[in-house]
């Protein structure tokens, strides 16, 4: 009886949470003429394809009653382009990206059914206007090895498959112990799937790395990630941003829930333009 009640009321609550998170996302919004402020340019096209910038920062922001969020800033923090929101639910969280100029949601992410039931990472990122192929990032057959790596505190925390249009097109590699980062690699020949391509020819095309230097908001330091994309990549910028943001939220949740973990840690490195990678030991109270 308890299980039936939980499933019934949990499903109602999940429905409300999901549709609250995706207000103004879908159903003809954004419209055909929307200009997607802050979108970069690549070989795939302009702002209407990429939706987000080529390079920039992800900055953690304070919790609100509606959920957790990361701000998206242009490289160097010159302008606030948008915000990634996470709205929780009984069964899964919903993530949406809104641009700052019009508060218009343009991208949303959710867990797959098998992820909800199976307890492994398997998420989809989709445009609100329904255009293009959704991107899927999944542990797949890496589930067991990912747990082994985590158990033995290996530098590479997890490996994921990236799928689009029914093809596995890239690999995402996360580091968890030490400097937190996620790196995307794909076949140099974009017409081939990863199975058809020799892994020695894989090339790095995007990444996100947690930085040593915080972003200060009203006198409070917040964690800052630096993300980069290649203008030659065959994945729109919003898709790599979505996958990097999922990882940033997981790191944030992990370090926040374990009060003593990483208070003097390895959120220590960042590539600064024209400088070597630096360390910084001042971070004593990341999450007060």
pLDDT at 126: 94
Tokens of 233: 């990549």
Non-local CB neighbours of 152 within 8 Å, separated by 6+ positions: none
pLDDT over 90 for what percent of the chain? Answer: 43
Residue 280 has pLDDT above 60, yes or no: no
Tokens of 6: 């939980």
Average pLDDT value for the chain: 80
Task: Using the predicted structure, report yes or no on whether residue 50 has a pLDDT greater than 80.
Answer: yes
93 vs 260: which has the higher pLDDT: 93
Q: What is the mean pLDDT of residues 195-215?
A: 76
Q: Is the Cβ–Cβ distance between 234 and 190 less than 8 Å?
A: yes
What is the reported pLDDT for 157?
73
Residues 219-262 pLDDT 10s: 888 889 999 999 988 899 999 999 999 989 888 876 554 333 33
Average confidence (pLDDT) over 149-158: 72
Q: With a cut of 70, say whether residue 81 has pLDDT above it.
A: yes
Residue 285 pLDDT > 70 = no
Band (pLDDT 50/70/90 cuts) for residue 62 is confident
Confidence class for position 148, pLDDT limits 50, 70, 90: confident
Q: Enter the pTM of the model.
A: 0.80
Average pLDDT over residues 169-189: 83
CA distance 96 to 109: 6
pLDDT in the model for residue 190: 56
Indicate the pLDDT class of residue 102, thresholds 50, 70 and 90. very high
Rounded alpha-carbon distances, angstroms, from residue 36 to 26, 90, 127, 140: 15, 32, 12, 33
Q: What angle do CA 56, 237, 164 make, to 5 degrees?
A: 150
Q: Which of 171, 173, 169, 184 is nearest to 149 (CA)?
A: 173
DSSP 8-class letter at 142? G
Q: Cα 149 from chain centroid?
A: 21
Task: Report the distance separating Cα 217 and Cα 208, nearest Å.
Answer: 21
Q: What is the pLDDT of residue 189?
A: 55
Tell me the average pLDDT across 33-54: 93
The pLDDT, as a whole number, for residue 256 is 52
Contact criterion met (CB below 8 Å) for 105 and 34: no
| Rounded distance between C-alpha atoms, residue 73 and residue 59, angstroms | 8
What letter does residue 162 receive in the DSSP assignment?
A: E
Q: Considering Cα of 124, then 57, then 255, then 68, what sign does the dihedral take?
A: negative
Mean predicted confidence (pLDDT) in 153-181: 83
Question: Residue 16: pLDDT above 90?
Answer: yes
């Amino acid at each position: 009886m308890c299980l039936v009640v939980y499933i019934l009321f949990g499903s109602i609550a999940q429905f409300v949470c999901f549709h609250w998170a995706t207000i103004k996302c879908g159903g003809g919004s954004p419209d055909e003429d929307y200009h997607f402020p802050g979108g970069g340019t690549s070989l795939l096209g302009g702002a209407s394809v990429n939706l987000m910038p080529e390079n920039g920062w992800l900055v953690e922001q304070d919790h609100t009653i509606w959920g957790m969020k990361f701000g998206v800033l242009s490289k160097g923090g010159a302008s606030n382009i948008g915000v990634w929101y996470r709205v929780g639910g009984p069964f899964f969280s919903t993530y949406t990206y809104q641009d700052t100029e019009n508060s218009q949601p343009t991208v949303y992410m959710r867990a797959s059914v098998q992820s909800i039931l199976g307890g492994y990472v398997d998420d989809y990122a989709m445009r609100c206007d329904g255009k293009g192929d959704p991107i899927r990032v999944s542990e797949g057959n890496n589930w067991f090895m990912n747990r082994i790596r985590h158990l033995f505190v290996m530098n590479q925390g997890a490996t994921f498959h990236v799928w689009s249009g029914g093809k596995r097109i890239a690999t995402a590699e996360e580091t968890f112990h030490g400097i937190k980062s996620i790196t995307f690699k794909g076949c140099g020949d974009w017409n081939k799937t990863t199975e058809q391509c020799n892994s020695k020819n894989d090339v790095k095309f995007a990444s996100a790395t947690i930085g040593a230097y915080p972003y200060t908001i009203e006198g409070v330091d917040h964690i800052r990630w630096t993300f980069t994309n290649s203008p030659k990549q065959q994945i729109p910028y919003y898709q790599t941003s979505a996958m990097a943001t999922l990882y940033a939220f997981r790191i944030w949740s992990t370090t926040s829930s374990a009060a003593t973990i990483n208070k003097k840690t390895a959120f220590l490195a960042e590539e600064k333009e024209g400088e070597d990678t630096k360390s910084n030991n001042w971070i004593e109270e990341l999450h007060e």
